[in-house]
Amino acid sequence: MNKAFELLKKFFIRENHSKLRKKDIAAIVIIIILFFVAPPMAVKQHQALMPGKHLGKLPSGSVPWETLGKVKVNYITDENKIFSVRGEPEALALSGKAAQVTGFMTPLEAGTELKKFILSKTPPTCFFCLPAGPDSMVYVESKSGVNYSQEAVTMRGVIFFDKEMTDGIIYRLKEAELL
């Protein structure tokens, strides 16, 4: 430890050329350690709260998010449209059929009994931000209010593919019920 103090003394000399006290050097060492240790710890904590790990294996019958992701979004089309979407046959085949989707809720209205919300592949990390890209979200309109949950929920309803991306959403799950 004394060698570390000696090394720090060589690099940190006060303007009046007086030597640093051991307290000053200890404070600098702590700051340096925190600079290198704290960010990786924060990243690990953030990753623990992030996607993939929490969703895990989907319940039997749920549409895989990989299937919903088989789309190509065009952001600039013409003066009348902002978005257009092309889907692979597997994604397009879902439209108009009963489907079950498992994901995390992002409320779109006040209250705890939600009738309209976004269901996404990833948990929301900021209530001002959407949780993922348009292919990783489903706009849900439930038959009755659903209690908000921070855990993954499974909804069943009729899914629709919106190639025009009305409101920036590709998929809509209508007449949905909580399973």
Residues 42 and 108 in one domain: no
User: Domain check: are 29 and 73 in the same one?
Assistant: no
Is it the case that residue 62 has pLDDT exceeding 50? yes
Verify that 44 and 69 share a domain, yes or no: no
Q: Does the residue 130 lie in any domain? A: yes
**Do 107 and 30 have their domain in common?**
no
Same-domain pairing of 40 and 71: no
Question: In terms of domains, do 41 and 87 share one?
Answer: no
Q: Are 54 and 152 in contact (CB under 8 A)?
A: yes
- Choose between 13 and 117: higher pLDDT: 117
Counted domains in the chain: 2
Structure-block tokens of residue 113:
């009994």
H or E, element range at 110: none
Average pLDDT score over the chain: 76
Burial of 120 (0-12, 13-18, 19+ CB in 10 A): buried
Q: Is the pTM of this model over 0.85?
A: no
Is the pLDDT assigned to residue 97 strictly greater than 80?
yes
DSSP 3-state assignment of 108? coil
Could you give the CA distance from residue 55 to residue 146 in angstroms, rounded to a whole number? Answer: 19
Domain that holds residue 7: 2-48
* Within a domain: 156: yes
d(CA 128, CA 106): 10
The reply to whether 85 falls in a domain is: yes
In this prediction, residue 51 carries a pLDDT of 45
- pLDDT classification of 48: cutoffs 50, 70, 90: low
Q: In this structure, are 161 and 76 located in the same domain?
A: yes
For residue 162, give both structure tokens: 């919106």
Output the pLDDT for position 139: 93
What pLDDT, on the 0 to 100 scale, is given for residue 178?
A: 93
Q: Which helix (H) or strand (E) holds 19?
A: none
Percentage of the chain with pLDDT > 90? Answer: 21
Residues 174 and 114 both lie in one domain: yes
Residue 149 forms part of a structural domain: yes
**How confident is the model over 140-168, as pLDDT tens digits?**
999 999 998 888 899 999 999 887 777 77
Q: For residue 43, what pLDDT is reported?
A: 47
